[in-house]
Amino acid sequence: MSTQKRQLRLGAFLSTSGHHLASWRHPEAQADAGLNFQHYKRLAQTAERGKFDMIFFADGVAVRQRGQGGDVLSRNGKLVHFEPLTLLSALSVVTENIGLTATVSTTYNEPYHLARKFASLDYLSGGRAGWNLVTSATEAEALNFNRENHMEHTLRYERAREFVDVVTKLWDSWEDDAFLHDKESGIYFDPDKVHTPNHKGEHFSVRGPLNVARPIQGYPVIIQAGSSEDGKNLAAQTAEVIFTAQQTLAEAQAFYADVKGRLAQYGRSPDHLKIMPGVFPVIGKTEQEAKDKFHRIQELIDPVVGLNLLGTMIGGFDLSGYPLDGPVPDLPETNGGKSRQKLLIDLARRENLTIRELYLSIAGARGHRQILGTPEQIADQLEDWFVNDGADGFNIMPPLLPGSLDEFVDLVIPELQRRGLFRTEYEASTLRENLGLPRPVNQFTKVADRQVANV
Amino acid sequence: MSTQKRQLRLGAFLSTSGHHLASWRHPEAQADAGLNFQHYKRLAQTAERGKFDMIFFADGVAVRQRGQGGDVLSRNGKLVHFEPLTLLSALSVVTENIGLTATVSTTYNEPYHLARKFASLDYLSGGRAGWNLVTSATEAEALNFNRENHMEHTLRYERAREFVDVVTKLWDSWEDDAFLHDKESGIYFDPDKVHTPNHKGEHFSVRGPLNVARPIQGYPVIIQAGSSEDGKNLAAQTAEVIFTAQQTLAEAQAFYADVKGRLAQYGRSPDHLKIMPGVFPVIGKTEQEAKDKFHRIQELIDPVVGLNLLGTMIGGFDLSGYPLDGPVPDLPETNGGKSRQKLLIDLARRENLTIRELYLSIAGARGHRQILGTPEQIADQLEDWFVNDGADGFNIMPPLLPGSLDEFVDLVIPELQRRGLFRTEYEASTLRENLGLPRPVNQFTKVADRQVANV
């Protein structure tokens, strides 16, 4: 195995009827996808057939575009959907190897609940859980949790750092070999191998221990997506996977070098953080077929929806007063997702796009990289970034579900496998092992015990 | 169907290796049951084979007996287990008809999260979710959620009442027929049929709407277990099932009449709240075999565990200073579960029990009713309470799992069916319909619409 090429990591980003904004209107779309378990079961099993490392669910704790008028809102097919931890738990039963990952916010949750749910999912799935840590970026979420407005960016990240600290302490409450189950003596566990974290910090006071054993993976895999300075530092300190949005190889390389370069100061190896940009693939037998496919789905975007999407993505501005076919105006910085606003404005300036052109250009991939082409062309693009230090793998965001995922698994995966870039079988039973990540040492295990264990 | 006898309701209370305190030590026990999905899958499928209305998981957000010395703690086989919403979600995939219910506290949760998780489970399961509302009764939970001590009893119930109000508003965010999925026009839902609760109260400020559609059942079935005055009033106002602990028919009848009598003031029918006392059955081919079985498992209780259990159940008192074979001392009232303390002290006084006898008498059923006997004798006892206004059904708490549940399904259920007291097939696909409960009307639906719908 040591002579094997470095392997691509792949995540399947599964969003209702597809990542494209108008996907639900497509003739082949599952229009009620968000609350249809059979739909998600089929997707998860397809991704597993393709040997994806993991499936991934984005999430938020609000109707995301609340506050828009009914005319915009009523055209949105993504507002209602399963809560991801319940959905992943159900999917754990109908899959065997694929990682099960989802977004949960540190701003509107308590560490005890979060540590417990992911530990529980890790046991249900035999070690396949992963947590995408976000700090949330919308005021709509604040208003559902007793707050008047969204917590300020820096404060959110301070809370997130402490949150991870508490959660990992809770996951370490029980040592791996704490449970004896000794029916004869009546001793269920070794009391020296349970630890009470007794955390008292700035944001949290949490005694513990957790009422779930240490997760099978030690810790579920920790994923992050922030690209701000705070986000990159938090990721360098705590994340094992980063989902990121990068448009060009040069940008991707800069981001890759930047984040990997931050790991040493936390005593971490660059190999132990996998950087996976989002990719929105439109696959055709020919390049023209791919373009035609894309055009057909773009035509399904109502202008009122496109304009609203753009306004939301650049930080909550109402752009309806500006001419649709005029330039994108200069905008002040916001408290929301800073990095995403900058990304979009840069794109408009670089390609000299009008407001309409900008919303059309992002409505598909929404800030992520679009690749239109044949399976070989798509594989070429992925390989290019992968071998040139732009990515360790990709988070694949199929435009239409289930169709575009089927195509990726049936056409692109075999091409990647032929090139020796991607597995043909799972290497192991846990997500952590499949990703090639080390199992964390329990922070409460005595150093003497660890040395003995290492002998 | 209208000439059919009134039918018993049955819940299966599934607790790790069984409800008996020492169950995990039994030779046939699944010692690692708490985190073993295959174990729970077998239990849920067995209960469904027996046509139980529902399975039920108790829960708490702490290691329950934290603060005890290692000698006691290390003998407890129930400290680590799955988080129940993730477990129920997984079980929804391997069952088809049985209700899926669990405890979640209103004291250490937010209404938006809770409404969302249960709505999600309701969609995963096709309308089989139920929520057992508790206000929590242990300081250990407070210490895991930024609090110095447990919230006072009356305040907990005030919060619980408002919590239910917010949760039902969130479940009503979308009308049942809100979603159009009209691909042609691009209209996904009717904007007049989504409502923003905008709740501002004493304990919660929650804008909404929920990002899950209205649950299949309207609301998941609401269960409660409190027996204090506050608990009974909250149940009369909001609950559809009560799990309760009653030792004698006279007590059960008094509780039944009391709670059912409170419904009218909330405009509710007595039929719309099902009262289900807990029953701990030990089943033998003969009465003697049942007694021998019980004796064998009682012998597995270590005295240090029994004493600690008793101390916890009467409100956190340390009884180790009192003689084991002496009388139970008088104790001051606590802020914890008032009704349980009274129940136990009454039992000791009534039967003149020593401390040791009291802990042995409760270690099995822990405050619930023990019935030892043949399948016929057990059916007689259940029928007696059922036909004499002591119960609408029972929450069956098998001493050993999976064995005691298998016996109940194979031996007692057929006897109940022969007597015409229990279903031989599920009547419907939702828990609410199987229990014979009405589907709640959406509180935001315009009265005019309702009248049209009723014509």
For residue B233, pLDDT beyond 50: yes
- Closest residue on chain A to B117 (Cα): A83
Measured between CA atoms, how close is B34 to chain A, in angstroms? 9
What's the mean pLDDT in B365-374?
90
Residue B341, φ and ψ in degrees, nearest 5: -60, -45
Query: Of B199, B266, B198, which is closest to residue B238 (Cα–Cα)?
Result: B266
Band (A398; pLDDT cuts 50, 70, 90): very high
| Cα end-to-end distance, chain B, whole Å | 25
Backbone torsion region of residue B316, taken as left when φ is above 0, otherwise alpha when ψ lies between -120 and 50, otherwise beta: left
Q: Are A196 and A173 in contact (CB under 8 A)?
A: yes
- Closest residue on chain B to A192 (Cα): B70
Average pLDDT of every residue of chain A: 92
Of A71, A83, A121, the CB nearest to B116: A83
Q: Please give the share of chain A, as a percent, with pLDDT higher than 90.
A: 76
Using one digit for the tens of pLDDT, what is the confidence trace for B143-201?
999 988 888 889 999 999 999 999 999 999 999 999 999 999 999 999 999 999 999 99
Using one digit for the tens of pLDDT, what is the confidence trace for A58-93?
999 999 765 567 778 899 999 999 999 999 999 999
H helices of B263-400, in order, are: 287-298, 303-313, 338-351, 355-363, 375-387
Measured between CA atoms, how close is A206 to chain B, in angstroms? 4
Q: Where are the beta strands (DSSP E) in A162-246?
A: 179-182, 187-189, 199-200, 205-206, 221-224, 241-244
CA dihedral A139, B208, B180, B216 (to 10 degrees): 140
**Environment class of B226 (CB within 10 Å of its CB; exposed 0-12, middle 13-18, buried 19+):** buried
Using one digit for the tens of pLDDT, what is the confidence trace for B57-82?
999 999 976 556 777 889 999 999 99
Measured between CA atoms, how close is B452 to chain A, in angstroms? 24
User: Residues B73, B74, B78, B84: is their CA dihedral positive or negative?
Assistant: positive
pTM of the full predicted structure?
Answer: 0.93
- C-alpha angle B161-B167-B168 in degrees, rounded to nearest 5: 95
- Count how many Cα atoms sit within 13 Å of the Cα of residue A154 in the half-sphere of its side chain: 0
* Residue contact B183–A124, C-beta within 8 A: no
d(CA A336, CA A322) in angstroms, rounded, equals 22
- Closest residue on chain B to A82 (Cα): B120
d(CA B119, CA B27) in angstroms, rounded, equals 40
pLDDT (0 to 100) of residue B257: 97
Cα dist from B201 to B165, B230, B258, whole Å: 10, 20, 30
**Which residues, 6 or more positions from B372, have their beta carbon under 8 angstroms from its beta carbon?**
B281, B282, B284, B287, B290, B291, B294
| Cα end-to-end distance, chain A, whole Å | 25
* Residue contact B206–A143, C-beta within 8 A: yes
**Which residues, 6 or more positions from B180, have their beta carbon under 8 angstroms from its beta carbon?**
B187, B188, B189, B190
Of A31, A82, A124, the CB nearest to B181: A31
d(CA A171, CA A200) in angstroms, rounded, equals 16
What's the mean pLDDT in B260-284?
96
Q: Are B387 and B5 in contact (CB under 8 A)?
A: no
Band (A1; pLDDT cuts 50, 70, 90): very low
Cβ-Cβ contacts under 8 Å, A80 against chain B = 174, 179, 210-213
Query: Of B230, B227, B281, which is closest to residue B256 (Cα–Cα)?
Result: B227
For testing contact with chain A, the best of B83, B113, B166 (most A CBs within 10 A)? B83
Q: What is the CA radius of gyration of chain A?
A: 22
For testing contact with chain B, the best of A40, A74, A302 (most B CBs within 10 A)? A74
What's the mean pLDDT in B313-339?
78
What's the mean pLDDT in A369-381?
97
User: Looking at this predicted complex, what is its ipTM?
Assistant: 0.93
Cβ-Cβ contacts under 8 Å, A70 against chain B = 191-192
What's the mean pLDDT in B410-417?
98
- Closest residue on chain A to B73 (Cα): A191
* Residue contact B24–A181, C-beta within 8 A: yes
Of A76, A89, A140, the CB nearest to B89: A89
Q: Please give the share of chain A, as a percent, with pLDDT higher than 70.
A: 95
Measured between CA atoms, how close is A85 to chain B, in angstroms? 7
Tokens 């204090």 label which residue? B228
- Closest residue on chain A to B186 (Cα): A75
For testing contact with chain A, the best of B25, B74, B91 (most A CBs within 10 A)? B74
- Closest residue on chain B to A196 (Cα): B66
**Which residues, 6 or more positions from B244, have their beta carbon under 8 angstroms from its beta carbon?**
B225, B227, B255, B275, B276, B277, B278
Measured between CA atoms, how close is B356 to chain A, in angstroms? 19
Query: Of B225, B237, B197, which is closest to residue B112 (Cα–Cα)?
Result: B197
Of A90, A187, A188, the CB nearest to B90: A90
Cβ-Cβ contacts under 8 Å, B31 against chain A = 181, 183, 188
Exposure pattern of B281-310 as b/e (b: 16+ CB <10 Å)? bbbbeeeeebeebbeebbebbbeebbbbbb
Cβ-Cβ contacts under 8 Å, B89 against chain A = 85-87, 89-90
* Residue contact A87–B124, C-beta within 8 A: yes
Q: Are A222 and A432 in contact (CB under 8 A)?
A: no
CA A114 remoteness from chain centre: 16
Q: Are B135 and B105 in contact (CB under 8 A)?
A: yes
> Per this entry, what is the length of chain B?
455
Q: Are strands A54-57 and B129-134 parallel, antiparallel or unpaired?
A: unpaired
Query: Three-state SS for A129?
Result: strand
CA dihedral B374, B378, B380, B382 (to 10 degrees): -170
